[in-house]
Amino acid sequence: MVVDGLDETDGVDRLFHALADATRRDILRRCGRGELSVSRLAAAYPMSFAAVQKHVTVLERAGLVGKERRGREQLVRTDPDALARARRALDELESAWRARVDRMSGLLTEAAGPGTPAKGPDR
Amino acid sequence: MTVTSVDKDVDALTLTLVADFAAPVERVWQLWADPRLLERWWGPPSYPATFEEHDLTPGGGMKYHMTGPEGEKYGGWWRISSVTPPTALEFTDGFSDQEGKPNPEMPTTEVRMTLTGHGEGTRMELRSVFDTREQMEQLAEMGMVEGMTQAVGQMDGLLAN
């Protein structure tokens, strides 16, 4: 599917672009600990409210944060999908290492030395 | 239970795993230090690893490839930052391109492995840290690691655009 492929590429580009900036990564970290208003965020950086808002928009377009209007405030929260993706990476790394540890354990049993068969049909 | 504890810290991009083996430290170390043993556990059985280079000295490294069921090859490398036989090893773990050269577009992880005598056996503590959150997400997006190798070509295609 050509159209799907294009969409996916755009998505990856947007994700990489969004994460390539230190301020935006910092915004992600802050919002990961709970939702924050744009004005609270703006107070944390030596830049204008408009500049911070622009960063938030880039993160939003990459699907990394969600924005929600509550009263006069705009609240920003880390996109749960992005966080779920990060968790999945650790889950996958964990299962890769668990499988490796199992294989290591198998080798150690197998290599226990001649005369000590790990498993024998007559034992 | 060989794996005794696992800690995953999403903020610190870190996986810490502790495993206990019923074998002395020296024998567990050999699983890392002997390339013929290493290749029997590094890759999944359906993607066995072949280590073409294996230099376990600081500044040295590994060059390996895994071969898939269709004969397709996927390369990887380690760069050793420190080694204290038979108890500690630190290295960077990354992917290679089709020519077997380190692929800078692909995620790398910093791995620190220590072995300590624990009762009659050995405790292995392994810490694996992603450089950046985007690398971690990149890896997850591709659904890699154990089944990771299939995705390498796909990802190269995406990044080539």
pLDDT value at residue A98: 92
Dist. CA A96–CA A105, nearest whole Å: 14
DSSP annotation of B57: S
Query: Count of A–B CB contacts within 8 Å?
Result: 104
pLDDT band at A113 (very low <50, low <70, confident <90, very high): low
Report CB contact under 8 Å: B8, A96: no
pTM: 0.64
Dist. CA A64–CA B35, nearest whole Å: 41
pLDDT value at residue A11: 63
Q: How confident is the model over B7-36, as pLDDT tens digits?
A: 988 888 899 999 999 999 999 999 999 999
A35 phi/psi in degrees, rounded to 5: -75, 145
Q: How confident is the model over B37-84, as pLDDT tens digits?
A: 999 999 888 888 999 999 999 999 999 999 988 888 889 999 999 999
Report CB contact under 8 Å: B21, A12: no
Domains of chain A: which residue ranges? 2-78, 80-110
Using the structure block, give the residue that is written with the tokens 């080798």. Answer: A107
Beta bridge partners of B49: B66
Helix (H) or strand (E) holding B126: strand B121-130
Q: Which CATH number fits domain A2-78: 1.10.1380.10, 1.10.3370.10, 1.10.10.10, 3.40.50.720?
A: 1.10.10.10
Q: How far is CA A68 from the centre of its chain?
A: 21
Q: Which residues of B touch A103 (CB under 8 A)?
A: 40-41
Provide CB contacts within 8 A for A92, sequence distance 6+: B139, B140, B143, B144, B145, B146, B148
The answer to whether B148 and B157 are in contact (CB under 8 A) is: no
The answer to whether B94 and B138 are in contact (CB under 8 A) is: no
Beta bridge partners of B73: B67
SS (HEC) of chain A: CHHHHHHHHHHHHHHHHHHCCHHHHHHHHHHHCCCEEHHHHHHCCCCCHHHHHHHHHHHHHCCCEEEEEECCEEEEEECHHHHHHHHHHHHHHHHHHHHHHHHHHHHHHHCCCCCCCCCCCCC
Q: Which residues of B touch A14 (CB under 8 A)?
A: none
Q: How far is CA A108 from the centre of its chain?
A: 35
- Of the candidates B40, B37, B83, B93, the one whose C-alpha atom is nearest the C-alpha of residue B59 is B83
Look at residue B115 and tell me whether its pLDDT is greater than 50. Answer: yes
Report CB contact under 8 Å: B140, A82: no
DSSP annotation of B102: B
Tell me the fold of B3-160: Alpha-D-Glucose-1,6-Bisphosphate; Chain A, domain 4 (3.30.530)
Dist. CA B86–CA B32, nearest whole Å: 10
Q: How many CB atoms lie within 10 A of CB A36?
A: 23
pLDDT band at B142 (very low <50, low <70, confident <90, very high): low
pLDDT value at residue B157: 37
A1 and B CB contact within 8 Å: no
A91 and B CB contact within 8 Å: yes
Q: How confident is the model over B79-111, as pLDDT tens digits?
A: 999 999 999 999 999 989 888 888 888 888 999
Give the closest of B41, B128, B130 to A104, CB-based.
B41
